[in-house]
Amino acid sequence: MEKVKVIKERLKTAQSHQKSYSDVHRRYLEFKEDDWVFLNVSPMKGVLQFGKKGIEFEVNEEMLYEEIPIVILDRQVQKLRNKEIASVKVLWRNQQSEEATWEAEEEMKKKYPHFFG
């Protein structure tokens, strides 16, 4: 129990040092209405950054950006014990082919039926 207490104290000390260091270097940004800003937007699955800098995106009033699929690149079926899960590889607008993501085929059919004709 004594070693656990020592470990907890050392963790607390290390966390305190990290917090004080980050507090010194933190910048609080304030924006006004009609300010122009660059956004780092990533899709719902995984965190990916856009390779191109300075791309302007359309953002709606709620400050949300909708990612739009361009083409379905591939399809796969994952077999589990009792069921099969179909997935499609989707290339999204403003992304490169390396950044394509695997999405559930059923969800994509609901949102974008025109891809499945």
Tens-place pLDDT, residues 22-74 = 888 888 888 898 888 887 766 555 444 444 455 576 666 676 767 889 999 99
d(CA 69, CA 76): 18
Tell me what the mean pLDDT of segment 63-92 comes to.
88
**What Å distances lie between residue 52 and 7, 8, 32, 47, 96, CA to CA?**
45, 44, 26, 16, 10
Is this model's pTM higher than 0.75 or not?
Answer: no
d(CA 111, CA 65): 16
Q: What phi and psi, each to the nearest 5 degrees, are found at residue 67?
A: -80, 130
